[in-house]
Amino acid sequence: MKKIIHLAGAAMLMGSMLAAPIAPAQAAVVANQDAGAFINSLGAESFAVLKTGNKAAVRTKFRELLSQHFAIDAIGERLIRRWQNQITPAQKAAYKAAIPNFIIGTYSDNLYDYANATMKVIRTAPAGSGFNVVTQVQKPGAQPISAVWSVAKVSGAFKVTNLTVANINLAVTQGQDFDAIIQRKGIDGLIAMMKARG
C-alpha cells in the first residue's frame, strides 16, 4: 500500500484556450483537448529531466513544476481541512511553507524507477468545474498503471488539483496520514515531520 501511495505521489510530480470566440459545444471539446495536452506536456517535461539522472537537477525541476503547474495552496488546504479552526496563523504559514519541500522530499526519489517509462493520455472528461485526464504509465517489463489527473483552471491556467493512481486517491490518503499525525503530535508535530522529510 505504501509503495502505491509513493507511486501516486511520484506520478503527481511527473505528469491554452483558443483566443477566437467559439461555440459552447466546441469550447467544451477544445477545453477537453487542452486539459489532455497540458498533462501530456507536463509528463513529457518530467520524464525528460528524469532521464538526465541528475538528482539535484531533478529536484530543482520538480520544485519548479510544482509551483507552476500544481494548485499547491488548495491541495495543502484540503489535507488539513478538518483542523483549520485549531491552527494559528503562524502554524498555517509554517505548514504552507513546508508543503513543497515535503512533496519533493517524500516522492522524488521514487521517480527514478520510472525514468524509462512512458505516459500516454487515454481520455479526458469534464469533472465538476475542471477535468479528469486519464493516463497510462508504462514501465518496460511491467503492467501499465492507470493515473487520473484532476485539473482545473486557476487564474486562467490549468493546474493539477489531485491525482488518483491505481484507484488510490492521493489527497484522501495523504490527508488521512496527516490527520493521524496531528491526532498524535499536534500541528507542530506535523510541521516538524514535514520539514524533516523535505
Query: SS3 of 23, please?
Result: coil
Q: Point out the least confidently predicted range of 13-22, 64-73, 123-132.
A: 13-22
Question: Residue 6: its pLDDT value, please?
Answer: 52
| Residue 51: CA count within 13 A, CB half-sphere | 9
Q: Residue 70: its pLDDT value, please?
A: 92
Q: Indicate the pTM of the whole model.
A: 0.78
pLDDT digits (tens, 9 = 90+) for 154-186: 888 899 999 998 888 989 999 999 999 999 999
pLDDT digits (tens, 9 = 90+) for 139-155: 899 999 999 999 999 88
Instruction: Give the C-alpha separation, 127 to 169, whole Å.
Output: 15
Model confidence at 22, in pLDDT bands (50, 70, 90)? very low
Average pLDDT, the chain: 82
**Which pLDDT belongs to residue 176?**
95
**Is the separation of the CB atoms in 71 and 168 below 8 Å?**
no
Q: Are 159 and 149 in contact (CB under 8 A)?
A: no
Per the CB < 8 A criterion, the answer to whether 11 and 64 are in contact is no
Return the top range by mean pLDDT from 41-45, 46-50, 100-104, 145-149: 145-149
Domains, in order of start, for the chain: 2-78+107-169 (3.10.450.630)
**How many whole angstroms separate alpha carbon 13 and alpha carbon 129?**
22
The rounded percent of the chain whose pLDDT value lies above 70 is 83
Between 25 and 175, the more confident residue is 175
User: φ, ψ for residue 145 (rounded to 5)?
Assistant: -115, 130
Element of type H or E holding 178? helix 170-197
